[in-house]
Chain A
């Protein structure tokens, strides 16, 4: 990985120049030039940053100020941050410096700049969920994951762009405009946590939080060439996460390398009385456990994830990753997951049904946007929702309401829940024979902006390799695994059984170490 970093560092001067001049250019000129630009820059590791802060060679306030400078330069081109929490960040950074100056031991993330997907609430900071319906909303509390990061010393920089209510696979459904992929600004960063992935890829944060309901952490991590973690359902509290589909929603971290992602997960994981589905299982030291070699682990490769529709270059990259696992002493064997093709239909029925119920709360009464011109309560509800929600959110609310409505419930929602059990059982059977399963994260590298916006079904199929793990509740990690044409990143998805995050991290470390 080292040579790559050097190459990207050398690009920095030209990138600063173009970012500075871009505001004077017409949008046509900048779009002509933009595909030649790269904003990729690898963040320093937690270990490096921590050592600097502890010894005083790096001041947390300088580090934070440096990140705000970079954000100011790069954000106009990438649209990654929706709002910044500068005051809160600088206050926290000063507190960290004071502890370091006294020589006292530092908290695990002391001074580390972190960005938060704008579906997680921070007290007093805007929380839009990428939607106009939450314009002006200032939540009165912190999400549990946010509170835990800050208690561990993290410096929270601001809120990251995403698809509206986390519904999308390209970030093009944000009411505040799409995020652009730092690798190639003509391409999407993936979604829905596009801002969280792009922020790490462009070094606009050292780590970030995202949310994953059907692939919303793993797919953008793959498209942007960073590490993204899907924790086991219940491993990280959902308290303070704006709900999309409650039986599927997870909060998880992004980072520039696997070990740092493991450290971040260790901080945010653990039981929370404010989330009734949060797991009471103790939290292991994920980072330390990720140091264990992958040698001897049994790796399953499901043929169903390498069938028709997989880009040949993505296939080739993943096959190289599998070879690297063999070389590091893993046993690779085929596993069968024959019902995989039913996962996308099951996912879109269950997720939209739950969303139609969850999004009923946005009605213009208690917080957020209220349509100003309604004479009756009923008209106020409808007008506020019609003006506040974007097209994809309305499409999913309608689909979910239809699937739950009288006469259709058994045929759609109940049927989907039955197939959900078949899919979950299939994974559990496979994990009796293997320790981890590896697949491509997405069927293609990042696609171009606008390429799939006219065809919702084509967009849904971008999630074909990620939704099954969501339905089964198992955990996984997306790790960079080489590139396709034009240096576009390819991500490998490493899946493991419930609460076996450490195994997924060990496998991901082996792929990362191969330097593909």
Chain B
């Protein structure tokens, strides 16, 4: 958990996140990530063996009561024409994007 982030790590993670970092952005990101990860390493002090992770507070018995899950029923959603009017490029039926694979 105290792994030091390298320039290669930053580039790999940026690629995973579809972020194209400019060359001048990388050193600052590297420094900040290492500072923050050094700080969060404090959590290693705690023994958490056997503790059930808490992903959602609705899970807590005292929060929202039991089982807040909606019924899975098909309902009308926004009209296609309304949604498509917000697209950067569209033929009104589909979203248009640059080519996906090189030929």
User: Given the complex of chains A and B, what is the CA–CA distance between A368 and B85 in angstroms?
Assistant: 11
Residues of A within 8 A of B29 (CB): 394-395, 398
Complex alpha-carbon distance, A182 and B85, angstroms: 39
CB distance from B84 to the nearest CB of A (A): 9
Q: In the bound complex, how far is the Cα of B62 from the Cα of A281, in angstroms? A: 12
Q: How far is it, in angstroms, between the C-alpha of A420 and the C-alpha of B35 when the chains are bound?
A: 22
The distance in angstroms between the C-alpha atoms of A230 and B38, with both chains bound, is 30
Name B62's contact: one of A140, A419, A420, A428 (CB within 8 Å): A428
Question: A498 with B53: in contact, given A386-B22, A415-B43 (CB under 8 Å)?
Answer: no
Closest to B57 in A: A473
Q: Which residue of A lies closest to B16 (CB)?
A: A401
Q: Is the CB of A366 within 8 A of B54?
A: no
Q: Are B88 and A342 interface neighbours, CB within 8 A?
A: no
Q: From residue A53, how far is it (CB to closest CB) to chain B in Å?
A: 34
What 1/0 flags go to A369-401 for Cβ under 8 Å of B? Answer: 110001111111111011001010011011101
Max count, chain A CB within 10 A of own CB: residue among B10, B32, B33, B82: B32
CB distance A381 to B18 under 8 Å? yes
Instruction: Judge whether B63 and A394 touch: CB under 8 Å.
Output: no
In the complex, the answer to whether B53 meets A421 with C-beta atoms within 8 Å is yes
Any chain B CB within 8 A of the CB of A416? yes
Q: How far is the CB of A144 from chain B (nearest CB, A)?
A: 14
Contact check, B55 vs A498: say whether CB atoms are below 8 A apart: no
- Do the beta carbons of B55 and A417 come within 8 Å of each other? yes
Do A498 and B99 have beta carbons less than 8 Å apart?
no
Encoded as 1 (CB less than 8 Å from any B CB) or 0, chain A from 229 to 266 comes to 00011100000000000010000000000000000000
User: In whole angstroms, how far apart are the Cα atoms of A515 and B13 in the complex?
Assistant: 52
Q: List A contacts of B69 (CB < 8 A).
A: 276
A223 nearest CB across to chain B (Å):
24
* A234 close to B14 (CB less than 8 A): no
**Residues in chain A within 8 A of chain B (CB atoms):** 137-138, 140-141, 232-234, 247, 273, 276-281, 339, 341-342, 344-346, 348-349, 356, 360, 363-370, 374-383, 385-386, 389, 391, 394-395, 397-399, 401-402, 405, 408, 411-412, 414-422, 424, 428, 456-457, 460, 472-473, 497-499
**Other A-B pairs beyond A378-B18, A385-B19, A499-B64, 8, CB < 8 Å:** A138-B86, A247-B55, A376-B98, A377-B97, A399-B33, A401-B13, A408-B3, A422-B51
